[in-house]
Amino acid sequence: MTSPASAQSHPVPSRVAAVPPPVDFATKARLRSRAVHLRMHRQSVRDPEKFWAGQARELLQWRRPFTEVLDWRRPHARWFADGRLNVAENCLDRHLATSRANKAALIFEGEPGDVRTLTYRQLHREVCQFASALARAGLRRGDRVAIYLPMIPEAVVAMLACARLGVIHTVIFGGFSAEAIKDRINDCQARLVITADGGWRRGRVVELKANVDTALAATPSVRQVIVVRRTGQEGVKMQPGRDVWWTDFVLGASPEHRAAAFPSEQELFILYTSGSTGKPKGVLHTSAGYLLGSMLTARYIFDLQESDVYFCTADIGWITGHSYIVYGPLANGATVLLYEGVPNQPGPDRFWELIERHQVTIFYTAPTAIRSCMRWGDEHVRKHNLGSLRLLGSVGEPISPAVWRWYHEVVGARRCPIVDTWWQTETGAIMVSPMPGVTPLKPGSCALPFFGVVPVVLDDTGREVPRGTEGRLFLKQAWPSMLRTLWGDGRRFRQQYWSEHPEYYFAGDGARLDSDGYLWVSGRIDDVLNVSGHRIGTAEVESALVSHPQVAEAAAVGRPDELKGQALVCFVVLKGALPTPAVSEELRRHVAKEIGPIARPDEVRLVAALPKTRSGKIVRRLLKQVAGGEEIRGDFSTLEDISVITALQTNV
Ligand code: WT7
């Protein structure tokens, strides 16, 4: 954990000319000037409790007002603890008494091109009816429900229905395999699973129900499975007594549902994310603080206004989908475009087609997607009229200045500010970002801390480094949307985030602050890779590899990749099998089966031995050099067997 930042994606320029915000943006924006922004930020960090209490009173609809703001017994935070509210009511019911009742909450477009719009009133009705059905099925506050769905309106309905009942949802990304589903369900002991017959992806059907069936062979906690008919495909097996179609499940359930008031710290969801061990971490978020964080950041950073059509390309299975497709935008009463499929189906211009067709004004995506679009060519963008766009966002990994400029010029026609937003599953909401229209932009930097956030960069000994120097990124103060713990593993929670420094939250990223206080994040410094914006733990990949009968030992590392950010390279020592290309291929398939297609190694190298220290620790630094085709250098004195180096470079 103390290795220097890998600076995997791009060299950080020392001095870049800032791009001034478009002149007229701020005249209509929520934040009118840089001065207002900086003053608010100063106030928010000087007296965070006062700031957050004010925002919480103004933005959230309380059933019982809070009197306590923060109870901070590091690392345990409780926000607004004696207050009561209902998260779903804050996302839906509150809009019904306003002109938003008949405003589109969701515009859904499936990959095959089918379109469905749900107004706030309609979405509310769906959520209420599904909540009634869940309650009728015996689901109670605190129970866990797993959601494994495509990007369809039912995914949003299911999440909000759980929230309405105080049932804890755990959304499992559709790209995960049966093994991964099983592990997550067993870890949180989910009682019920919500899935679909299949989903559309790249013109083909993803067999969601079949994956669930395989997983459920070893998940004793699950009693019921609700299945949305999405593809209408034949041959979906329904297990009598366990499986029920969504439409049958809600039949006769009341579309009216009185939302109960829950305490602020009511658990809202668990979201599994990769860490540096083989077992994913169940990040736990609770109600009021999380909702406030996602709502306030969405409001200011995306400058949400009544007439906006907001499009976030993330999947609902990731935190970005939770905070910036569901909770943040809906609490603000925004219109959200939900798209099911991939960016190049049927053609490489699908995103631009969607933007033009639905007159999208705010577009939020990841650098890996931007890099793909860039490679496919400007002509696909230029074919479409993107005049509706007024704001662009980026998230998930550092965006290189060249990619930033392409996004700014070709997609945004130099008219749209870009908000490069740094945050994590654990932070629940954006922590560092420019304020659109008021913060001068530096391509490649995520700019300035959001309200209430104080980033610090420390060296390996815990001392603050001088401005301009790379170090490890920490956050100084507690914030409302911070994770509360790791599900069932308070020790790991402490160890992972709160043991590197006695007072600060450890982010796991390398970064530096420049002389203007702008943050430049270089990437993970732990054994977590960022492959196409997906967070993948090397230890998870390694444990998947050694679960194969032919594998004696394995090590996974990242290699810089122009398109994916990082590519996944695995070094494997076989037990005795002949090292053939077929074996490499079989191991790649095996990892995809164990974790999911997103973790399929780009390369599996079969080697005679792995470089280790005398205490048996794999020396990843060397493997990274070999994987990246670099010359091997550095200190070899700790190696147990120096000849391994030659062995590594020649595949067996
Ligand atoms: C990691 C968190 C939070 C949404 C998506 C990913 C990297 C995220 C940025 C950015 C540079 C970024 C960090 C972070 N990251 N946003 N704007 N610039 N790096 O969530 O899966 O929890 O991953 O993504 O390395 O630690 P996540």
Ligand 1 atom closest to 432 (CA): 17
Give the residue, by CA position, lying nearest to ligand 1 atom 27: 424
Residues listed for the chain: 652
Query: Mean of the pLDDT values across residues 127-142?
Result: 98
Report DSSP state, residue 615. Answer: T
Alpha-carbon distances of 232 from 216, 229, 645, rounded to whole Å: 22, 6, 54
**The CATH number of domain 25-62+84-420 is 3.40.50.12780:** yes
Check if the beta carbon of residue 143 is closer than 8 Å to that of residue 241: no
The pLDDT, as a whole number, for residue 16 is 67
For residues 150 and 316, what is the distance between their CA atoms, to the nearest angstrom? 8
CA of 533 to the centre of ligand 1 (A): 8
Q: What is the mean pLDDT of the chain?
A: 94
Ligand 1 atom closest to 430 (CA): 3
The pLDDT, as a whole number, for residue 85 is 98
The pLDDT, as a whole number, for residue 550 is 94
For residues 423 and 650, what is the distance between their CA atoms, to the nearest angstrom? 40
- Measured in whole angstroms, how far is the alpha carbon of residue 89 from the centre of its chain? 24
Query: Mean of the pLDDT values across residues 75-104?
Result: 98
For residues 416 and 83, what is the distance between their CA atoms, to the nearest angstrom? 39
CA of 140 to the centre of ligand 1 (A): 33
For residues 451 and 476, what is the distance between their CA atoms, to the nearest angstrom? 13
Give the residue, by CA position, lying nearest to ligand 1 atom 14: 424
Ligand 1 atom closest to 521 (CA): 11
**Is 23 exposed, middle or buried (CB count within 10 Å of its CB: 0-12, 13-18, 19+)?**
exposed
Among residues 29, 96, 17, 23, which one has the least CA distance to residue 362?
A: 29
Give the model confidence (pLDDT) of 522-564 as tens digits. Answer: 988 888 999 998 989 998 999 899 999 999 999 999 999 999 9
Give the residue, by CA position, lying nearest to ligand 1 atom 17: 422
CA of 466 to the centre of ligand 1 (A): 24
Residues contacting ligand 1 via CB (< 6 Å): 273, 319-320, 395-398, 420-425, 446, 507-509, 521, 523-524, 530, 535
Give me the amino acid identity at 421. T
Give the residue, by CA position, lying nearest to ligand 1 atom 23: 424
Give the residue, by CA position, lying nearest to ligand 1 atom 12: 397
Sign of the C-alpha dihedral computed for residues 517, 506, 601 and 231 taken in this order: negative
Q: Which two tokens stand for residue 195?
A: 């899935």
CA of 9 to the centre of ligand 1 (A): 13
The pLDDT, as a whole number, for residue 2 is 35
Give the residue, by CA position, lying nearest to ligand 1 atom 24: 396
**Which residues, 6+ apart, have CB-to-CB distance to 271 below 8 Å?**
170, 171, 282, 283, 285, 318, 319, 322, 425
β pairing state of 267-273 and 534-537: unpaired
For residues 323 and 291, what is the distance between their CA atoms, to the nearest angstrom? 8
Tell whether omega for the bond before 611 is within 30 degrees of 0, i.e. cis. no
Is 6's pLDDT higher than 60?
Answer: no
Give the model confidence (pLDDT) of 199-244 as tens digits. Answer: 999 999 999 999 999 999 999 999 999 999 999 999 999 999 999 9
* Helix or strand holding residue 312 (H, E): strand 309-312
The pLDDT, as a whole number, for residue 349 is 98
For residues 164 and 148, what is the distance between their CA atoms, to the nearest angstrom? 19
Q: Using 50, 70 and 90 to split pLDDT, how confident is the model at 7?
A: very low
Is 628's pLDDT higher than 50?
Answer: yes
Q: Kindly list the strands in the beta sheet with 471-475, ordered across the sheet, starting from the edge strand earlier in the chain.
A: 455-458, 471-475, 505-513, 519-524
Give the residue, by CA position, lying nearest to ligand 1 atom 18: 398
Q: Which two tokens stand for residue 50?
A: 């006062």
Give the residue, by CA position, lying nearest to ligand 1 atom 5: 396
**Which residues, 6+ apart, have CB-to-CB distance to 611 below 8 Å?**
618, 619, 622, 623, 639, 641, 644, 645, 648
Write phi, then psi, for 11 (nearest 5 degrees). Answer: -70, 140
Q: Which two tokens stand for residue 230?
A: 């999405």
CA of 446 to the centre of ligand 1 (A): 11
Q: Which two tokens stand for residue 222?
A: 């699950």
Q: Which two tokens stand for residue 237?
A: 């097996």
Among residues 200, 202, 106, which one has the least CA distance to residue 159?
A: 106
For residues 65 and 276, what is the distance between their CA atoms, to the nearest angstrom? 40
Largest Cα separation within the chain, whole Å, is: 74
* Helix or strand holding residue 406 (H, E): helix 401-406
CA of 477 to the centre of ligand 1 (A): 19
CATH of 455-523, one of 2.30.38.10, 1.20.1740.10, 2.60.40.10, 3.60.15.10: 2.30.38.10
Q: Using 50, 70 and 90 to split pLDDT, how confident is the model at 623?
A: very high
For residues 570 and 556, what is the distance between their CA atoms, to the nearest angstrom? 4
Is 12's pLDDT higher than 70?
Answer: no
Residue from 285, 371, 423 to probe ligand 1 pocket by mutation (most atoms less than 8 Å from CB)? 423
Residue from 273, 327, 397 to probe ligand 1 pocket by mutation (most atoms less than 8 Å from CB)? 397
What are the strands, taking DSSP E only, across 331-432? 335-339, 362-365, 391-395, 418-421
CA of 124 to the centre of ligand 1 (A): 32
Domain ranges of the chain: 25-62+84-420, 455-523, 528-651
CA of 521 to the centre of ligand 1 (A): 9
For residues 284 and 343, what is the distance between their CA atoms, to the nearest angstrom? 31
Ligand 1 atom closest to 524 (CA): 25
Give me the amino acid identity at 225. V
β pairing state of 551-561 and 565-574: antiparallel
* SS3 category, 513: strand
Give the residue, by CA position, lying nearest to ligand 1 atom 3: 424
For residues 131 and 129, what is the distance between their CA atoms, to the nearest angstrom? 5
Check if the beta carbon of residue 6 is closer than 8 Å to that of residue 624: yes
The pLDDT, as a whole number, for residue 362 is 98
CATH assignment of 528-651?
3.30.300.30
Percentage of the residues of the chain whose pLDDT score is greater than 70: 96
Residues 498-536: b if buried by 16+ CB within 10 A, e if exposed:
bebeeebbbbbbbbbbbeeebbbbbbbbbbbbbbbbbbb
For residues 481 and 141, what is the distance between their CA atoms, to the nearest angstrom? 21
Residue from 395, 446, 481 to probe ligand 1 pocket by mutation (most atoms less than 8 Å from CB)? 395
Is 14's pLDDT higher than 70?
Answer: no
Give the model confidence (pLDDT) of 322-361 as tens digits. Answer: 999 999 999 999 999 999 999 999 999 999 999 999 999 9
The pLDDT, as a whole number, for residue 618 is 84
Sign of the C-alpha dihedral computed for residues 453, 454, 455 and 460 taken in this order: negative
CA of 347 to the centre of ligand 1 (A): 28
Sign of the C-alpha dihedral computed for residues 228, 102, 343 and 179 taken in this order: negative
CA of 430 to the centre of ligand 1 (A): 10
Is 593's pLDDT higher than 90?
Answer: yes
Is 13's pLDDT higher than 60?
Answer: no
Is 9's pLDDT higher than 50?
Answer: no
For residues 175 and 321, what is the distance between their CA atoms, to the nearest angstrom? 14
The pLDDT, as a whole number, for residue 234 is 95
**Which residues, 6+ apart, have CB-to-CB distance to 381 below 8 Å?**
349, 352, 373, 410, 411
CA of 156 to the centre of ligand 1 (A): 23
* SS3 category, 425: coil
Among residues 169, 542, 218, which one has the least CA distance to residue 321?
A: 169
Give the residue, by CA position, lying nearest to ligand 1 atom 6: 396
Q: Which two tokens stand for residue 171?
A: 């959304």
Is 652's pLDDT higher than 70?
Answer: no
Write phi, then psi, for 20 (nearest 5 degrees). Answer: -65, 150
Residue 263's DSSP bridge partners are 84
The pLDDT, as a whole number, for residue 441 is 96
Check if the beta carbon of residue 532 is closer than 8 Å to that of residue 544: no
| Full DSSP string of 184-218 | HHHHHT-SEEEEES-EEETTEEE-HHHHHHHHGGG
Pick 261 or 534 by higher pLDDT.
261
